Structure 1
Amino acid sequence: MLDRFRLIIAWIACLVYWLAGGTAFLGLCLILPLLSLKDRGRVIGQAALRVAFRGFLRLLGLFGIVEYEFVGFDRLRAQSGGMIVAPNHPALWDAVFVLSEVDQMACVLKASLMCNPILFGGATAAGFIPNEPAHRMLRQCIETLKSGSRLLFFPEGTRTRPENGVLNPIQGGLAIVAKNAGVPVWPVFVKTNSRYLSKGWPLWQLPTEKVRLQMTVGEPVTFPPGGDAQEFLVELRQRYLTALESPSAIA
């Protein structure tokens, strides 16, 4: 069991960290357009956000709230050109972990979060893509990938719902983007021992045990020329299920 007092102090520290960071990134997203840096400004925003996320993970480690393991992420960092990094999505903070490990990557973000004053500055500076309206999101994803950038795309569309087991149905938008951008999809299998920050978990509710996470990079999948979107999604879904339902040391 985690010490309750330590959890409360950690929660307050994290809140202060995000408030300070959100304010700083709000300033950054206002300054970068004035410098006329264009694409370079987005790279600066993504780099700054990665530093901020790595600092947040160190803060979590300092309080002993979470243990995490990254497996195979060196393979992603070694790749050049456009690619889709596609993790399953058990908890709210999954993007933070992935973006802390892979640089120069945009992210498809829930549109309502772009209105969050804490997240708006960082998401705007880093060139994140709102998931609504869908047609604009798909077009921006394809353009981003064709320009050679990396894209974080959650194929479930939202956090995993308890009634769906370990994985929600995979959304068809992933197949559309992969087909039209002509880039590989790198699945990332996220395993955890906790429901903390899962779908329906209130943000203020603290965990009762240390959260353990393991994020493993799978083999890339490319949409085949003349291939069928449904077959592509079925194959990809089976890869997630095989990895997520296999025995794990996470406990």
Structure 2
Amino acid sequence: MNHWLLQPVMLTLLYLQLLFLGLISLVWNVIAALLYPLLPRRRGMAIGRAGISRGYGLFWNVANASGLLKMDATALDPLRDERGVIFVANHPSMLDALMLVARLPRSVCVMKASLMRNPFLGPGAKLARYIQNDSARSMVRHAVNDLKEGGQLVLFPEGTRTVRPPVNDFRPGFTLIAKLANAPIQTVFIDTESPYLSKGWPLWRLPPLPIAFSVRLGKRFAPSADPAAQLTEIQTYFAESLAADPARTT
């Protein structure tokens, strides 16, 4: 097939996969909206988080089978049932949370309050008891409580996708949460050579194929009595580790 014909075919296949992801999300959020008022908090939370994780896992299975969009996050598998851990990762693309949550069925994410009110995303997030970021104090309190109950907290301390490689400046909060919850901080590196869905990448533009992401574990940090100093330490660790092999991420 000529290259000028192949490109629109590949783009169509890629966006059919994203449409499939959207359909999974829509179906689950309808189910979650029905379950939310019926289930007690703990039961609803467990079902909500497992449902999101399995839905994202299904998407990645289909994507990997297509050969166009590949993800290897098996490094997280030994930690999937570990309780009371904070996972912090760099943030090269819009797909990062999907990779981590697919492998961590106990995990909770922090979401914008506007997304929690979104009928397309909100019901599933509410059932899973995801945490709103509209109030810093409330966010910290809910995160600490969740960790003490055995949850896993997934955070991207850059706050947005990376725009200044190797990492943006980290936002405060996660080291304080670690201190208050007495929870370890597990660093996670998301490696990719693809610019796909990075900050500023237009949705209609076909990137080089296949699009590949891989996840590897970094150091684990014990909670510190000095959260501000630890924040700087972990940001420096991310920057130095990613800069040491710049080909691994965009």
The TM-score normalised by the length of structure 2 is 0.88
Q: Matched residues in 1 for 2:125 and 2:206: separation?
A: 26
Cα 1:117/1:22, change in 2 over 3 Å: farther
Relative distance call for 1:250 and 1:71 in structure 2 (3 A) is: farther
CA distance in 1 between counterparts of 2:72 and 2:21 reads 23
Q: Is the 8 Å Cα contact of residues 45 and 122 (structure 1) preserved in structure 2?
A: yes
User: What's 1:135 paired with?
Assistant: 137
Which shifted more, 122-131 or 48-57? 122-131
1:47-100 superposed Cα distances (whole Å, 9 cap, x missing partner): 111111011112222332222323531332252x21111111111110000111
How many residues of Structure 1 are paired with residues of Structure 2 in the alignment? 245
Residue in 2 that maps onto 1:18: 21
CA contact 2:74–2:103 (8 Å) conserved in 1:
no
* Residue aligning to 2:178: 178
Preserved contact between residue 89 and residue 155 of structure 2 (Cα < 8 Å): yes
Q: Which residue of 2 aligns with 1:125?
A: 127
Residue matched to 1:198: 198
* Aligned equivalents of 1:146, 1:181: Cα separation in 2: 6
Higher mean Cα deviation, 87-96 or 34-43?
Answer: 34-43
Q: Which moved more, 1:90-99 or 1:197-206?
A: 197-206
How does 1:62-141 map onto structure 2 within 5 Å? Answer: 62-70=65-73, 72-77=75-80, 79=82, 81-141=83-143
Q: Are positions 1:160 and 2:162 aligned together? A: yes
- Separation (CA, whole Å) in 2 of partners of 1:239 and 1:19: 35
Q: Contact 2:50/2:106 (CA < 8 Å) preserved in 1? A: yes
Verify: 1:6 aligned to 2:4, yes or no. Answer: no
Whichever residue aligns with residue 242 of structure 2, its letter is L
| Partner Cα separation in structure 2 for residue 149 and residue 133 of structure 1 | 20
Give the fraction of aligned pairs with identical amino acids, expressed as a percent.
32
Specify the alignment match of 1:50 in structure 2. Answer: 53
Q: Distance in 2 between matches of 1:68 and 1:24?
A: 23
Task: Structure 2: give runs of 5+ residues left out of the alignment.
Answer: none
Structure-2 change in CA distance of 1:129 and 1:206 (3 Å)? farther
**What is the alpha-carbon distance in structure 2 between the residues aligned to residue 244 and residue 133 of structure 1?**
31
Aligned-CA RMSD value: 2.2
Normalising by structure 1, report the TM-score: 0.88
Question: Counterpart in 2 of 1:222?
Answer: 222
2-structure distance, mates of 1:62, 1:74: 20
1:123 counterpart letter in structure 2: A
What is the CA-CA distance between 1:148 and the residue it aligns to?
Answer: 1.5
